Structure 1
Amino acid sequence: MENLKPQPPHVVFLPYPALGHVKPMLKLAELLSHATFHVTFINTEYIHHRLLPSIDLDAFHRRFPNFHFLTIPDGLPPHHTRTVADLFSSIGSATTSALRQLRVSEDLLCRTTTCIIADGIMSSSAVIAGEEFGIPVLAFRTFSACCTWIYFHLSKLIEEGEVPLQDQDMDKLVTCIPGLENVLRRRDLPSICRVERVGDPILEFFIKEARAMLRASALILNTFDELEAPVLSKLASFFSKIYTIGPLHALSNVRINGDRSPLASTTGILWKEDQGCITWLDSRPSESVVFVSFGSVVKFTHDQMLEFWHGLVNSGKPFLWVIRPNSIIGGDGSSGQLLMELQERTKGKGLIVSWVPQEQVLAHGAVGGFLTHGGWNSIMESTEAGVPMICWPAMFEQQVNSRFVSEVWRVGLDMKDTCERSIVEKMVRDLMEAKRVEIMKVMGVVAKQAGESVKKGGSSSLNLDTLIQDISSMTPPSSRAE
């Protein structure tokens, strides 16, 4: 009988349809494709159509010839506004149905798939499909280990009366989460805890997905061992295998993008980047600029925008501020007028742009601080670049991240639950002047750890190698004995 050459592993990726989730999952998918795996990346139709303009598909497929994009519906009409709550309610059933259809139309989940790597909040759909088709599921939680640990204790927070958070002392310590008894205040719990009642649909969604994650065969995290070792040891009681492979953007740069070519991979950005900001930064002194960006989702009222602007101007520090199109609340045209006024009044004090190549900006020598919403991708990028942070969290796990940035890792400041110009000014001055030496001393150590972790022999690099080896040892359904 003729010996058949073994086929490379085939990994199906199932990201949640939001930039902060798609971006790190694309990085991991590219890394596995670079390791000669076959990869199928399943986006929702809405996200994929927004992603396409940022990808040179010809160059991408030359670099990753075994990488295949597929799209599925998200359960909402094409012109729907796609609020967070609407997506949470629609995405699960839509995904389960779509995966079953793909089994038939693509023969995707029937014979060739070695494993599914699913976003942590797509776990229910992925686990149902995996168990139905006999395929291992690995859960990729796209935020920190500490947040992951807290989400596994949402039911405990309800039992202890900490959730819902209503008319309570928000600075009281939360002591019912093992290992974090002296860390979290009520205001530091994820924003989903700030609900009016037990049984809130969004809170229930995250509880359900956390339970489903426990049925996965392994956990993947975009973090590094040296940063979150105590919490990782706690998570080991839930998962026999945990792969910490962050900062993923840095690991990708080491293994794939040594030339940092924009054609080598996709950044997963859904807006056009303003490269002119780099020229502007080139003209600024070392570590003098405050970079301001609140991610891809956060929206502002007019008053909030003005408070931030006045605080930044009053600090006397030059600033580069990302204000996305339509990120100011208001549909009467006044938001566009406000943005134009701020851009005009900012001349000589800073620069306002619609989007930037964030990794490149944070790596620029002129940037001395980062005012951020505290999303996990931003924290990983800032930490690896050695740029201290001011966190103004808005939603979900960002409240947790900001607390850890300031009180556990001590690489920045926490400005949650306030938006006053005097406080913005003080925080910027503290970060850039009064507390800078103290914070930078710690940040230097953490940044070095992050950089070392992704180099050959580093913890994250070795963990990626282990992940590759473990997936390679799995047997797809078509090869199993009947």
Structure 2
Amino acid sequence: MAPRPHFLVLTFPLQGHIAPALRLARRLLAAAPDALVTFSTPAAAHRLMFEEGQRGGGGGEDGDDGRFELLPFSDGTEIDRVPGGDHVAEFNGYMASFHAEGRRSVGELVDALAARGRPVSRVVYTLLLPWAADVARDRGVPSALYWIQPVAVLAIYYHYFHGHGSVVDDHCCDKSFVVELPGLPPLAVGDLPSFITDATDPSDYLHSIFTTFRDLFDTLDRETPRATVLVNTCQEFEETTLAAVGAYDVLTIGPVLPSGDEAGLFKQDDAKYMEWLDTKPANSVVYVSFGSLTVMAREQLDELLHGLEASGRLYLCVLRKDNKAMLADQAAAAGTEMDASALRNGMVVEWCDQVRVLSHSAVGCFVTHCGWNSVLESVTCGVPMVGVPRMSDQRMNARLVERDWRVGVRAEDSGGGVLRAAELQRRVEEVMGEGEAAAEVRRTAAAWKRAVAEALGRGGSSDRNLTAFVEGARSGI
């Protein structure tokens, strides 16, 4: 009888990493009805995400028969917060602790699971945990990287750390300089991930991200046989790019989407926003969200809301709690009695169920920072995008949206990092207006929605690849 596969899924404690990792954990449970899955993230995020009864191995999935466990690991801190946001200045120090203590704690976790009669057969880890592969290798357990960005970004990093870094370094200040990397179209430096253009200097406050990516590719290169990389994308999105990372066994298994209610680091507003959407005409609402880490300066907040109001279109806008409080203070200073969640043409909330919103017929456009989770969710739901990228992979994601898939447009800031109201208004009209260009974007978005459904459906490319990975874990390959 074949051994029962047991996947240990490890992730960094940020919402944009936790969400796809937890979604993959649930996909693995569904793909292999006999599999065990343990999901683990540092303790602070674990406490914020899961109910008291779920902590410490209580499961948490109805009907999972104890197959799913939620177990934290230590990142060396004792504080009840996750890295990022207001604490970014401390980030490099946090990363040093995360790497050292995480390695030790995850090793103990793997040993403890084996002692309980639940030995791990495959470790799956996200981007910022290169040491997870070493922990697995030391114990004779195969591992796989879960790449939660597009294949194109994987290829860019690969070539940067394999002989092409100097040309990027020499021109990092010239965002218009064009770089040619094997297997990729010519790319402007301004399209490359920010961690290889802006964070290579040891004095940079995010330099530890750059060094972690460097260590990650060193880890992948040391794997024997070739490293396995699961990518949260589908083959149809990036078929021509896959050959650019032929050094690894790359399996496209996405988009990995939510399956029901989803745990998160942020408390959702009540569902009044869904009731509000229910009253709006089809394709009439602009949905706006820039992710969980984006804190807007007052100038940007003013420009954003002015542009939305000036567009004359309905909108649902997600703002962090601190930005929402800034908005309320501004209204009070003006002597207005604005409802805590509503403006003239729209509604502002602190958080919402994004896939549920994007799936609603009233939503006709998504103004997004182009985080990869948001891009995948928008394409899957067939919603055109206005991209407002800032950092990490977002600039390349925006390029894919506009140039490769043609499901949206990119809004340009003023040169000072501020998206002006007029530019936002113009770009929204480009995808929601009555002209032929906007109609073509909407048709293309609908076509990609169908392509994603086929890839995820039984026998589709992503379904086949995930099945192959599960069977490989079962057989010990």
Compute the TM-score of the two structures, normalised by the length of structure 2.
Answer: 0.87
* Counterpart for residue 172 of structure 1: 177
CA contact (8 A) 1:246 1:454 kept: yes
* Counterpart for residue 381 of structure 1: 377
- Separation in 2 of the partners of 1:452 and 1:88? 39
- 1:424 paired to 2:429: no
CA contact (8 A) 2:125 2:146 kept: yes
Give the counterpart letter for 1:238 in structure 2: A
Residues 81 and 464 from structure 1, CA distance in 2 versus in 1: closer, same or farther, beyond 3 angstroms?
A: closer
- 1:190 paired to 2:197: no
**Deviation sequence 1:88-138 (CA, Å, 0-9, x none):** 333211211112333454446998111101113212x11211221111011
- Separation in 1 of the partners of 2:302 and 2:221? 44
* Counterpart for residue 22 of structure 2: 26
Q: What SS does the aligned partner of 1:451 have?
A: helix
Q: What SS does the aligned partner of 1:313 have?
A: helix
- 1:133 paired to 2:139: yes
Deviates more, 1:359-368 or 1:347-356: 347-356
Residues 343 and 422 from structure 1, CA distance in 2 versus in 1: closer, same or farther, beyond 3 angstroms?
A: farther
Q: What SS does the aligned partner of 2:61 have?
A: helix
Residue number among 366, 381, 389 corresponding to 1:370 in the alignment: 366
Residues 122 and 416 from structure 1, CA distance in 2 versus in 1: closer, same or farther, beyond 3 angstroms?
A: farther
Residues 336 and 110 from structure 1, CA distance in 2 versus in 1: closer, same or farther, beyond 3 angstroms?
A: farther
**Deviation sequence 1:386-406 (CA, Å, 0-9, x none):** 000011112211111011111
Deviation at 1:223, TM superposition (A): 0.6
- 1:357 paired to 2:349: no
- Separation in 2 of the partners of 1:295 and 1:450? 23
Deviation at 1:201, TM superposition (A): 3.6
Give the counterpart letter for 2:429 in structure 1: R
- Separation in 2 of the partners of 1:323 and 1:335? 9
- Separation in 2 of the partners of 1:54 and 1:109? 22
- Separation in 2 of the partners of 1:297 and 1:290? 21
Give the counterpart letter for 1:226 in structure 2: E
Identity %: 27
Deviates more, 1:30-39 or 1:269-278: 269-278
Equivalent pairs, count: 448
**Which blocks of at least 5 consecutive residues in structure 1 are unaligned?**
254-259, 476-482
Deviation at 1:164, TM superposition (A): 6.7
* Counterpart for residue 148 of structure 2: 142
CA contact (8 A) 1:13 1:41 kept: yes
* Counterpart for residue 121 of structure 1: 128
* Counterpart for residue 247 of structure 2: 238
Give the counterpart letter for 1:275 in structure 2: A
CA contact (8 A) 1:388 1:440 kept: yes
Give the counterpart letter for 1:232 in structure 2: L
* Counterpart for residue 403 of structure 1: 399
Q: What SS does the aligned partner of 1:272 have?
A: coil
Residue number among 401, 404, 408 corresponding to 1:412 in the alignment: 408
- 1:160 paired to 2:167: yes
* Counterpart for residue 472 of structure 1: 474
- Separation in 2 of the partners of 1:300 and 1:335? 11
**Which blocks of at least 5 consecutive residues in structure 2 are unaligned?**
none
**Deviation sequence 1:417-436 (CA, Å, 0-9, x none):** 44111111111111211431
Residue number among 242, 245, 255 corresponding to 1:247 in the alignment: 255
Deviation at 1:215, TM superposition (A): 3.7
Residues 233 and 294 from structure 1, CA distance in 2 versus in 1: closer, same or farther, beyond 3 angstroms?
A: same
* Counterpart for residue 38 of structure 2: 40
- Separation in 1 of the partners of 2:116 and 2:373? 30
Give the counterpart letter for 1:75 in structure 2: G
- Separation in 1 of the partners of 2:472 and 2:159? 29
Give the counterpart letter for 1:178 in structure 2: P
Q: Higher RCO, 1 or 2 (CA under 8 Å, sep at least 6)?
A: 1
Deviation at 1:326, TM superposition (A): 2.5
- Separation in 2 of the partners of 1:456 and 1:79? 41
CA contact (8 A) 2:193 2:393 kept: yes
- 1:218 paired to 2:225: no
Give the root-mean-square deviation of aligned CA atoms.
2.7
Deviation at 1:283, TM superposition (A): 0.7
**Deviation sequence 1:8-46 (CA, Å, 0-9, x none):** 111111112111111111111112223221111111001
- Separation in 2 of the partners of 1:405 and 1:446? 11
Residues 233 and 366 from structure 1, CA distance in 2 versus in 1: closer, same or farther, beyond 3 angstroms?
A: same
Deviates more, 1:20-29 or 1:191-200: 191-200
- Separation in 1 of the partners of 2:305 and 2:157? 34
Residue number among 449, 454, 457 corresponding to 2:459 in the alignment: 457
